[in-house]
């Protein structure tokens, strides 16, 4: 099990492989983001997207699937997240793209309000198959301490 | 049609009604965020969530559904979004909750790189049925100009 104490600032990870399908793009957009450029080729062709592209929130969801898979491979003691510091959709994500993630831990500190957990801050970049960044964000995570009674402040 | 020129800084809107179902919470989590506290009551009871709660990304998606519904009611000339400045998940969202949105336009400016569009910045708050904030964010939007050749800078 990977606890807060085990996280090292500066550590980089590269993981994930998510094949974006047309069916899933349209299914997600119908439910959550039914703007024409996420639903229909012809409508998308008239916009700066050029062709049918995934909802940015769908890209977030696909990225989370890769992050969780990686956390579970490492048996990370993750306890959810209080949020993000920023999130940028840099390029459209199209059906047929294959996404992957690179992340770097940029900060960690023990929670003051919940000393049994620590906060981690990671720079997350999502790339397509052409190694172009499609999304980047700074994600905050909550991780359980191995020793919740430790006096040390990280 | 509501164009960039029509957006007024300071304007507040209140809209949306999204009923969070257990089925949808589990379905989203299975696909995109399969952490135990989003899938299983017993596992969630052992965490600070207390009981089965929605993925934060699911809350984003449900919020987007309400934002798009509101944009489409207003026939807003929305062209997508370059991202968010921050996003905070403040409280868990549980099956049975009913969500709604309050938003306020806090800034607008014409795009320098794409003068046919403008950028809007909105503070978005999502409330549950007890009027507690469950999520808040600062969202950037791209909106088409009615007169893309106008010399004026907003």
A9 Cβ neighbours under 8 A, 6+ residues apart: A105, A106, A107, A108
Low-confidence ranges of chain A (pLDDT < 70): 152-154
Does residue B9 carry a pLDDT above 90? yes
Does residue B97 carry a pLDDT above 70? yes
What pLDDT shows up at residue A150?
A: 84
Percent of chain B past pLDDT 70, that is, above it, reads: 98
Q: Do the Cβ atoms of A111 and A118 come closer than 8 Å?
A: yes
Instruction: Give the count of Cβ contacts less than 8 A between chain A and B.
Output: 94
Q: Do the Cβ atoms of B7 and B105 come closer than 8 Å?
A: yes
Of B32, B56, B62, the CB nearest to A81: B56
The residues spanned by each domain of chain A are 4-144
CA distance B114 to B119: 10
3-state secondary structure of A63: helix
Does residue B25 carry a pLDDT above 90? yes
Minimum mean pLDDT among A89-98, B130-139, B140-149: which range? B140-149
What pLDDT shows up at residue A47?
A: 87
Does residue B153 carry a pLDDT above 70? no
Of A34, A78, A87, the CB nearest to B84: A87
The pLDDT confidence band at residue B48, using thresholds 50, 70 and 90, is confident
Q: CA of A112, closest CA in chain B: separation in Å?
A: 15
What pLDDT shows up at residue B150?
A: 85
For chain A, what percentages of helix, strand and coil (3-state, to nearest 5) are there?
25, 35, 40
What pLDDT shows up at residue B151?
A: 81
Q: Do the Cβ atoms of A102 and A63 come closer than 8 Å?
A: no
Of B48, B61, B89, the CB nearest to A57: B61
Contact (CB<8Å) B114/A48 = yes
Q: Is A4-144 a CATH 3.10.129.10 domain? A: yes
Q: Do the Cβ atoms of A119 and A145 come closer than 8 Å?
A: no
Q: Which of A35, A52, A93, A99 has the most B C-beta neighbours within 10 Å, making it the best mutation to test the interface with B? A: A35
């Amino acid at each position: 099990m990977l606890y807060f104490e085990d996280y090292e600032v500066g550590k980089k990870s590269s993981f994930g492989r998510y094949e974006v399908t047309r069916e899933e793009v349209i299914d997600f957009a119908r439910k959550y983001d039914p703007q024409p450029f996420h639903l229909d080729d012809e409508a998308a062709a008239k916009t700066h997207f050029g062709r049918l592209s995934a909802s940015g929130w769908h890209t977030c969801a696909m990225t989370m699937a890769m992050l969780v898979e990686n956390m579970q491979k490492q048996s990370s003691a993750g306890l959810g997240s209080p949020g993000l510091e920023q999130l940028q959709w840099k390029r459209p994500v199209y059906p047929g793209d294959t996404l992957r993630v690179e992340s770097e831990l940029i900060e960690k500190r023990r929670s003051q309000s919940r000393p049994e957990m620590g906060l981690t801050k990671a720079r997350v970049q999502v790339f397509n198959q052409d190694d172009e960044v499609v999304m980047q964000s700074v994600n905050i995570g909550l991780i359980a301490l191995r020793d919740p009674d430790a006096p040390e402040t990280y």
